[in-house]
Structure 1
Amino acid sequence: MPNCFQCQYFYVTWDKHHPRGCKAYGFKTKEMPSMTVKKASGQECLKFLEKKK
């Protein structure tokens, strides 16, 4: 499963109930976005793009 912390679409929100977000899919969640995508679609995240170092 992709590590969201290494993805350029991952961001941290100010929402204490949904502290993590994904700009690629446009949602906020309590768990890691890649886990939410896996639960909803049954597939690994297809929009993972590693951050440029």
Structure 2
Amino acid sequence: MTGKSKTYNERVNCYACKHFYVTWDAQMPRGCRAFGFKSVMLPSIVVKQSSGVPCMKFVQKEHKGRNG
């Protein structure tokens, strides 16, 4: 048993999503382009609290390799 809650595995990592961005707004520093909103919290948490289901618009960022 790891001690993590059942919902831990359902959590979406916004930092790994291509729709996530950091805003210039100090009051609302995190944003989601897919849903079109900014928030104090991570967008995936707002979506989960609002809808009751994990974010369904998550798209893994493509990592660009080095040309070296």
TM-score computed with the length of structure 1 as normaliser: 0.98
Gaps of 5+ in 2: 1-10, 64-68
RMSD value over aligned CA atoms?
0.4
Identify the match of residue 5 of structure 1 among 15, 29, 51.
15
* Secondary structure at the counterpart of residue 56 of structure 2: coil
Alignment identity in percent?
51
Question: Structure 1: which amino acid aligns with 2:45?
Answer: M
Distance 2:12 2:50 in 1: 15
Aligned equivalent of 1:41 = 51
Gaps of 5+ in 1: none
TM-score computed with the length of structure 2 as normaliser: 0.77
Distance 2:55 2:30 in 1: 15
Aligned equivalent of 1:26 = 36
Q: How many residues align?
A: 53
Bigger CA radius of gyration: 2
Deviation readout 1:4-43 (Å, 9 max, x if unpaired): 0000000000111100000000000000000000000000
